Amino acid sequence: MLLIFSKIFFSFAPPAPFQSSRRTKGHQAASPVQSSSLTPTPYPTGKNMGKITIWYYVFFYCLQSATERQLMETMRFLEEWTGTPWVGIQFHFQPVFGPNVSQPPTRLCEAIFRASEETFTCSVEMIQCPGACRSLGVEASDIEEMATRMFEKSGTPREAARRIISQVPRLHFTPTAITLGKVPSPDVVVSFISPQGAMKLVRLWQEVHGAAMEATLSTFMGVCGNVAVKAFNTRQPALSFGCPASRTYLQMSEDKMVFGLPYSLATTLPSSMSTNAVPSLISSSS
């Protein structure tokens, strides 16, 4: 459909001015002023220009509609397939303005959890968890200080904590804000998923790609760094059991884990299924 509209749109594109290779006496190129037969073709005006404007809006309306339709289909498919809501996450690397940008201080995992019920944009300055700040690249957090805090809170040996912290994925560039919820153009989609839902999603992945899904697991920065940021950086699925802090603050039940997918990858899953496969899945997901 978009290909057809693009062909129609560009068929009305203004032609280049006429240029002739004919030579006059003295071997000088004839100019449009010297010869009326070589007058350049004028750019379209009037009705032609109106047609171009109409097709311009039709083309980009169809493009936008197709993007929104793909987003709705992808999110609906994931929710029906796993039985849990999915949250879109978009990292902004340019200044973002709006009435809903300023949010109260929060942990990133709490913001993701809340975004299943509402859509909002959160300034990175409002992210208060040290682990999330490090994962977002907001500040060069002192690894030694974080290792000491881990040792004091959970008894993790400092040397092991230092190695673990240094391995947690970080964004290569610091975002200015993060939009969460029903995002028009998400970078990553995340769900607090049941083991059964995760099993079905991994199985679908294997059927589509014909290979096992490779995943590294960590219980440190289990939602922010090892799911949201990891899926964004690697463009691969990310799976986590969360971390003690996220499970405590979110009051996650024992039958929940965290699953993240880059959106570009998530869009390939609905298209890989036949129309007859989804109803059988829905009936078995209760």
How open is the CA angle 104-107-108, to the nearest 5 degrees?
110
pLDDT at residue 90 above 60?
A: yes
Q: What b/e sequence results for 214-238 when a residue is b if at least 16 CB atoms lie within 10 Å of its CB, and e otherwise? A: eeeebebbbbbbbbbbbbbbeeebb
Q: Tally DSSP H helices, then E strands, for the chain.
A: 12, 6
Give 257: exposed, middle or buried? Use CB within 10 Å, 0-12, 13-18, 19+: buried
Within the chain, what is the greatest distance between any pair of CA atoms? 95
pLDDT at residue 2 above 60?
A: no
Among 222, 230, 215, CA closest to 248: 222
DSSP codes, 79-123? HHHHSS--EEEEEE-S---STTS----B-HHHHHHHTTT--EEEE
Residue that wins the pLDDT comparison between 282 and 244: 244
Most confident of 55-64, 167-176, 262-271, 276-285: 167-176
pLDDT at residue 170 above 70?
A: yes
178 SS3 class: strand
Specify the range with the lowest mean pLDDT, choosing from 9-23, 113-127, 141-155, 193-207: 9-23
Q: What is the pLDDT of residue 282?
A: 38
pLDDT at residue 182 above 60?
A: yes
Q: What is the pLDDT of residue 105?
A: 84
Return the percentage of the chain with pLDDT > 90, whole number. 41
- Render pLDDT for 44-70 as a digit per residue (tens, 0 to 9): 555 555 555 565 545 544 555 677 888
What does the alpha-carbon distance between residue 261 and residue 2 come to, in Å, rounded to a whole number? Answer: 27
How open is the CA angle 27-30-31, to the nearest 5 degrees?
145
Mean pLDDT in the chain?
Answer: 78
Residue type, 30: A
Q: What is the pLDDT of residue 10?
A: 46
- Render pLDDT for 23-46 as a digit per residue (tens, 0 to 9): 444 444 444 434 344 444 455 555
Residue that wins the pLDDT comparison between 193 and 40: 193
Residue 39 makes CB contacts below 8 A (sequence gap 6+) with 18, 32
Encoding tokens for residue 67? Answer: 């993007």
Strand partners, 179: 90, 121
- Render pLDDT for 243-274 as a digit per residue (tens, 0 to 9): 998 999 898 999 999 999 999 999 988 866 64
